[in-house]
A and B are shown apart, each in its own frame.
Chain A
Amino acid sequence: MSSTPERRPNLYALTWRLPIIFWQFIFFVGPVLFMVAMSFFLVKNYRMTEAFEFVNWTRMLTRGFFWDSYWYTVFIASVSTVCAMCIAFPAAFTLAFRASESTRRWAIFLLIIPFFTSYLVRTFSWFVILSESGVVNAMLGYIGLGPYTMLNTNFGTLVGYMTLTLPLVVILQTVTMANIDKTLVEAARNLGCSPLRTIWQVIIPLSKTGLIIAAIFCFILSFGDFVAPFYLGGSQEPTLPILILDTTKSGQQWPRAAVVAIMMMLTLFAIAFTGIALAYRKGRGAK
């Protein structure tokens, strides 16, 4: 039967089970493990030689610029996550509670399109729109404001991050809130709970898991994106992805780039695990 583990899988079972194991071991586990190994290699005369030295780690982790970049990336990705969660919430709330089933479906259908549609070209489009003589400044000019410098600032970077993350965050928040038990929300309102208090004490706790998962995805996407900080933020303060890019593309220092990449992965694992632990923790007095 399908529910009990089988003793010995037959040829048929293995035909379906093995392809992904082979493929991912060679082309996913292999690269990731090799990258870890590579962080201990040496670069001599622009050639990488296999070794087991800690020099790349000590070089990177004792440098001020690495930690400046590290904390700046953590900071800007956190700001991005808070912004995306807050900006998305009223929209998701509306779609989940005030919109009809079919409107909600249409909204999600439309939001999925940009999520899978060339982020790079969309960022470039913002570059043109936000530039000194671009559309936004031209429109502000009509009402006597500006021009404002929006490119090469944190604001520019955040616009890029929002372009990347907002569709996904709105979708995840909407789906989460649409699935909570509506009678609990009505009960709270009938018992005299104010609308804002209902959101804060009923809706948000009930949709906690989905909201935290949306935030984790938002943080991962912002933390790992090099396009927004590079093109819209001007990379005057390089984020970790830009550091990887520079170290790999111009410096040929793959081992040091690997150190940065591993630090990024460790940070993301730590944040994802903490978030998931929080998401599935039983709330106080849940009984």
Chain B
Amino acid sequence: MKQNRSLNFVLGIYVLLIFAFVFAPIIFSMIFSFNSQRFPTIPLGEFSTEWYAKVLADPDVWEAALNSLIVSCSTALIATFLGFCTAYSDFRYNFRFKGPYLALILLPPTIPLIIMALAMLAWFSKIGMSGQLYSIIIAHSVLTAPFAMAVIRLRLNQMDPDLEAAAWNLGGSEWQTMRHVIVPFCKPAIFSSLFLTAAVSFDEFAVSWFVSGLNKTLPVIVLEIVQGNIDPQVNAIGTFVFLISMTLVVLAQLFFASRQMKSIKL
């Protein structure tokens, strides 16, 4: 028993070390962003907001932030719409070629981003759609729709299939049932999916870098700044990016968890 307790203690420390490793870059980036040193190390330099001032004075960063905002919001809407349609089709219908149909939406995340980036760049150039902000939005929708589909499909799993039939028996048409029963039931998952896909899109850099042309997003700016040299401005931009995407992921998870709570009460 005693030996067991010390073993548990060691294992607990090990888990904490893993978490420290995972969160170290995020925390250090935030600390360095307020640090006066150009090459941050220990002991830390003085507190400084110099890097933030520099970043805020840079019109390119502002433009990139606006681009990122547009891209991630649009991507979230399109991907969640596509994900919802597919999740509902999978839930409600059984049809021929359903396997390939589902593969069509679920495959993109298993292909390395650099390959998707090359393929998208070549294809968009071919059909005359490259170098635009909407090129990034389209590409990101392909990449993030599977996450939307998964989140909403899991929610539909918890719905009693008789619920839909009951609504029809009570005289509701399929469309009315969709509007008054299924969409309200999926609402938490829809919000969760919006936040999650926005977060993934907000952070994606490889595909954005390839297809964006001159319309840079924040991660692309970061990618260009860090080409081989240490520039603390990245920590300032990075801290901002971390805060946004962490907030989005936390919100996504809270909505996702709230649906579990409700289903237990039902």
Do A and B originate from a single complex?
yes
Closest 4 CB pairs between A and B? Answer: A224-B112, A121-B238, A125-B25, A31-B123
* Closest-CB distance, B250 to chain A (whole angstroms): 7
B24 interface residue (CB < 8 Å to A): yes
If A113-B246, A264-B112 touch, whether A88 touches B122 (CB-CB below 8 Å) is no
Instruction: Give CA–CA (A16, B124) in the complex, Å.
Output: 26
A and B contact pairs by CB, cutoff 8 A, 30 listed: A13-B89, A16-B89, A16-B92, A19-B81, A20-B86, A27-B138, A28-B104, A30-B127, A31-B120, A34-B119, A93-B11, A95-B15, A113-B246, A116-B199, A116-B200, A122-B25, A122-B29, A124-B238, A125-B29, A125-B238, A127-B230, A128-B28, A134-B39, A134-B41, A137-B41, A224-B115, A226-B114, A257-B118, A264-B115, A268-B111
The residues of B that contact A119 with a CB separation of less than 8 Å are: 203
Most buried by A among B88, B226, B228: B226
The residues of A that contact B205 with a CB separation of less than 8 Å are: 120
Instruction: Give CA–CA (A31, B135) in the complex, Å.
Output: 13
The residues of A that contact B161 with a CB separation of less than 8 Å are: 2
Q: What is the interface size of chain A, counting residues whose CB is below 8 A from a CB of the partner?
A: 86
Question: For residues 61 through 116 of chain A, which have their beta carbon under 8 Å from a beta carbon of chain B?
Answer: 87-88, 90-91, 93-95, 98-99, 107, 109-114, 116
If A23-B141, A91-B14, A125-B235 touch, whether A117 touches B108 (CB-CB below 8 Å) is no
B185 interface residue (CB < 8 Å to A): no
Instruction: Give CA–CA (A31, B211) in the complex, Å.
Output: 12
Instruction: Give CA–CA (A33, B68) in the complex, Å.
Output: 29
The residues of B that contact A261 with a CB separation of less than 8 Å are: 114-115, 118-119
Instruction: Give CA–CA (A28, B79) in the complex, Å.
Output: 13
Q: Are the C-beta atoms of A9 and B93 separated by less than 8 Å?
A: yes
Q: Are the C-beta atoms of B246 and A20 separated by less than 8 Å?
A: no
Q: Are the C-beta atoms of B94 and A2 separated by less than 8 Å?
A: yes
In the complex, residue of chain A having the shortest beta-carbon distance to the beta carbon of B104: A24
Question: For residues 12 through 42 of chain A, which have their beta carbon under 8 Å from a beta carbon of chain B?
Answer: 12-13, 15-17, 19-21, 23-25, 27-32, 34-35, 38
A231 interface residue (CB < 8 Å to B): yes
* Closest-CB distance, B257 to chain A (whole angstroms): 8
A245 interface residue (CB < 8 Å to B): yes
The residues of A that contact B114 with a CB separation of less than 8 Å are: 224-226, 241, 244-245, 261
- List 19 other contacts, CB 8 Å, given A116-B196, A133-B41, A264-B115: A17-B95, A27-B142, A28-B108, A28-B142, A31-B116, A32-B119, A88-B18, A110-B19, A113-B246, A117-B246, A120-B223, A125-B25, A125-B235, A134-B39, A162-B21, A166-B21, A226-B206, A244-B118, A265-B111
In the complex, residue of chain B having the shortest beta-carbon distance to the beta carbon of A235: B228
Q: What string of 1s and 0s marks CB contacts (under 8 Å) between A213-240 and chain B?
A: 0000000100111100001000000000
The residues of B that contact A60 with a CB separation of less than 8 Å are: none
Q: Are the C-beta atoms of A23 and B142 separated by less than 8 Å?
A: yes
In the complex, residue of chain A having the shortest beta-carbon distance to the beta carbon of B17: A91
In the complex, residue of chain B having the shortest beta-carbon distance to the beta carbon of A99: B15
Q: Are the C-beta atoms of A111 and B245 separated by less than 8 Å?
A: no
The residues of A that contact B18 with a CB separation of less than 8 Å are: 87-88, 91, 166, 170
Question: For residues 15 through 71 of chain B, which have their beta carbon under 8 Å from a beta carbon of chain A?
Answer: 15, 18-19, 21-26, 28-29, 32, 39-43
The residues of B that contact A12 with a CB separation of less than 8 Å are: 174-175
Most buried by A among B28, B88, B235: B28
Instruction: Give CA–CA (A4, B24) in the complex, Å.
Output: 52
B126 interface residue (CB < 8 Å to A): yes
Give the contacting residue for A118; candidates B22, B206, B242; CB below 8 A.
Answer: B242
Instruction: Give CA–CA (A69, B122) in the complex, Å.
Output: 23
Give the contacting residue for B122; candidates A13, A31, A116, A225; CB below 8 A.
Answer: A31
Q: Are the C-beta atoms of A16 and B200 separated by less than 8 Å?
A: no
A163 interface residue (CB < 8 Å to B): yes
Which residues from chain B sit less than 8 Å from chain A, CB to CB?
A: 8, 11-12, 14-15, 18-19, 21-26, 28-29, 32, 39-43, 81-82, 85-86, 88-89, 92-96, 101, 104-105, 107-108, 110-116, 118-124, 126-127, 138-139, 141-142, 145, 161, 174-175, 196, 199-200, 203, 205-206, 210, 219, 222-223, 226, 228, 230, 234-235, 237-238, 241-242, 245-246, 249-250, 253, 257
The residues of B that contact A268 with a CB separation of less than 8 Å are: 110-112
The residues of A that contact B235 with a CB separation of less than 8 Å are: 125, 128
If A133-B39, A134-B41 touch, whether A21 touches B101 (CB-CB below 8 Å) is yes
The residues of B that contact A131 with a CB separation of less than 8 Å are: 39, 230
The residues of A that contact B41 with a CB separation of less than 8 Å are: 133-135, 137-138
Q: Are the C-beta atoms of A117 and B249 separated by less than 8 Å?
A: yes
The residues of B that contact A91 with a CB separation of less than 8 Å are: 14-15, 18
If A12-B175, A30-B123, A268-B112 touch, whether A113 touches B25 (CB-CB below 8 Å) is no
In the complex, residue of chain A having the shortest beta-carbon distance to the beta carbon of B228: A231
The residues of B that contact A110 with a CB separation of less than 8 Å are: 19
Q: Are the C-beta atoms of A241 and B112 separated by less than 8 Å?
A: yes
Give the contacting residue for B139; candidates A9, A27, A224; CB below 8 A.
Answer: A27
Q: Are the C-beta atoms of B230 and A111 separated by less than 8 Å?
A: no
